[in-house]
């Protein structure tokens, strides 16, 4: 009897892992949440795949081990927290818990920071001509125009950039383009870092674990824009600013650090434009296309071509306009071939103010096409 019990226990120990594997095996999903990659597909058997079929089976089941994503996340977390090691093609571990974006297929911002960046003369001329045409088209509809340049995170918080990306060149395409537009064109342009830097010592202005700036930076940029348009603007002294935990964390997510406690800082801003109900709660601001109306606007209408950085600006800029229309343009939107669509948009919307906004790493797109 005792021998039968021992044999039964042994049999359960042998078969339980296999049974649990098939019970817990995902029935759907082809992407690893932890590694942000496609899972290995079940291989097709044929005489041509006879040599690779066994390894294909192994890869398929290895990718679908129960709790695999959790184990990968735990391993990434331990390596990062204990050893400061982050094995990622898109995210670099900076100092004091700061993460930075280094995707070579998306502007390669850290490489540009360390090694310098610049536009060729013909690229500057092309961007200047295109922005001038866009401004002239706005003027033709009776609208004011403003080009808004948003800085990359590492340019504002260079003190936290990892040592591996020590700056070896002072060249910066951002500065080069701004100077060119001011000296060689009539394009009205502002650089948002001028609105941020005076407050850097008092507040944290970018998320530590995200590529973006936070709502306070959005507030500061919005006031800079309003002031450039000659409209009433506020300062941090005019509102109540309260620190709160942040919810943005695209970099920690990209790096597989979903287990990392969010250490980013954001702010509640209250007392802004009395009569506007909680503008910071406009979660629609992340939509590709957004139209917002305000009951306290002064008859002004805004059209803004923007990227994701404008999402933090929208709650603080929109209340100043009776109507504001924001859209995420497709790549190459400034190309000559797409200019007619831009003109048609202005004719349809009849704005009084037009904004074209671009974060630093996307500025080369203005020369594309």
pLDDT confidence bin for 267, thresholds 50/70/90: very high
78-92, 105-119, 132-146, range with the lowest pLDDT: 78-92
Question: For position 248, what pLDDT does the model report?
Answer: 63
- Exposure b/e, 85-110, CB count within 10 A at least 16 = b: ebebebbbbbeeebbbbbbeeebbbb
Q: How much is the average pLDDT of 253-278?
A: 71
Give all strands (DSSP E) within 169-296, no chain letters. Answer: 189-191, 240-245, 265-270, 289-293
What's the rounded Cα separation, in Å, for the pair 192 and 225?
A: 9
pLDDT confidence bin for 264, thresholds 50/70/90: confident
Q: Is 0.75 topped by the overall pTM?
A: yes
**pLDDT digits over 235-258, tens only?**
999 999 999 887 768 887 777 776
What's the rounded Cα separation, in Å, for the pair 207 and 308?
A: 14
The closest of 334, 302, 321, 310 to 192, measured between CA atoms, is 310
Q: Which residue has the higher pLDDT, 176 or 16?
A: 176
Distance of alpha carbon 184 from its chain centroid, rounded? 31
Contact status, residue 205 vs residue 236, Cβ threshold 8 Å: no
The closest of 294, 360, 355 to 329, measured between CA atoms, is 355
- Burial of 163 from C-beta contacts in 10 A (0-12 / 13-18 / 19+): exposed
The closest of 354, 367, 306 to 123, measured between CA atoms, is 367
Question: For position 297, what pLDDT does the model report?
Answer: 67
Question: For position 169, what pLDDT does the model report?
Answer: 92
At residue 147, the 3 state secondary structure works out as strand
**pLDDT digits over 181-200, tens only?**
999 999 999 999 999 999 99
Question: For position 279, what pLDDT does the model report?
Answer: 47
**pLDDT at 350 exceeding the cut of 90:** yes
At residue 306, the 3 state secondary structure works out as coil
- Report phi then psi at 45, rounded to 5: -90, 130
What's the rounded Cα separation, in Å, for the pair 292 and 273?
A: 16
- Burial of 245 from C-beta contacts in 10 A (0-12 / 13-18 / 19+): exposed
HSE value, Cβ hemisphere, 13 Å, CA-based, for 255: 31
Give all strands (DSSP E) within 48-142, no chain letters. Answer: 91-93, 99-101
- Exposure b/e, 43-75, CB count within 10 A at least 16 = b: beeeeeeeeeeeebeebeeebbeeebbeebbee
């Amino acid at each position: 009897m005792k021998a039968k019990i021992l044999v039964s226990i042994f049999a359960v120990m042998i078969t339980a892992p296999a049974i649990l594997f098939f019970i817990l095996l995902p029935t759907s999903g082809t992407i690893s949440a932890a590694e942000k990659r496609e899972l290995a597909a079940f291989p097709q058997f044929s005489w041509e795949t006879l040599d690779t079929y066994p390894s294909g089976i192994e890869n398929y089941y290895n990718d679908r081990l129960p709790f695999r994503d959790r184990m990968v996340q735990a391993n990434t977390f331990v390596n990062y927290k204990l050893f400061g090691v982050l094995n990622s093609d898109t995210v670099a571990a900076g100092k004091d818990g700061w993460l930075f974006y280094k995707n070579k297929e998306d502007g390669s911002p850290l490489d540009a920071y360390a090694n310098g960046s610049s536009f060729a003369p013909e690229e500057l001329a092309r961007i200047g001509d295109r922005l001038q045409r866009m401004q002239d088209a706005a003027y033709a509809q009776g609208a004011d125009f403003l080009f808004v340049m948003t800085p990359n995170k590492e340019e504002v918080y260079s003190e936290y950039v990892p040592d591996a990306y020590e700056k070896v060149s002072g060249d910066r395409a951002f500065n080069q383009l701004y100077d060119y537009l001011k000296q060689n064109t009539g394009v009205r342009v502002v650089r948002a870092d001028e609105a941020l830097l005076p407050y850097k010592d008092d507040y944290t202005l970018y998320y530590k674990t995200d590529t973006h700036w936070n709502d306070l930076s959005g507030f500061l940029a919005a006031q800079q824009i309003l002031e450039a348009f000659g409209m009433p603007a506020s300062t941090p002294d005019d509102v109540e600013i309260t620190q709160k935990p942040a919810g943005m964390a695209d970099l920690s997510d990209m790096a597989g650090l979903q287990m990392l406690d969010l250490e980013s800082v954001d702010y509640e801003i209250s007392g802004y434009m009395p009569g506007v109900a909680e503008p910071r709660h406009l979660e629609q601001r992340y939509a590709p296309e957004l139209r917002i109306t305000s009951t306290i606007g002064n008859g002004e209408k805004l059209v803004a071509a923007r990227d994701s950085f404008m999402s933090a600006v929208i709650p603080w800029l929109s209340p100043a306009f009776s109507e504001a229309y924001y859209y995420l343009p497709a790549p190459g939107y400034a190309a000559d071939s797409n200019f007619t669509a831009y003109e048609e948009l202005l004719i349809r919307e009849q704005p009084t103010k037009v904004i074209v906004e671009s974060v630093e790493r996307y500025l080369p797109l203005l020369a594309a096409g």
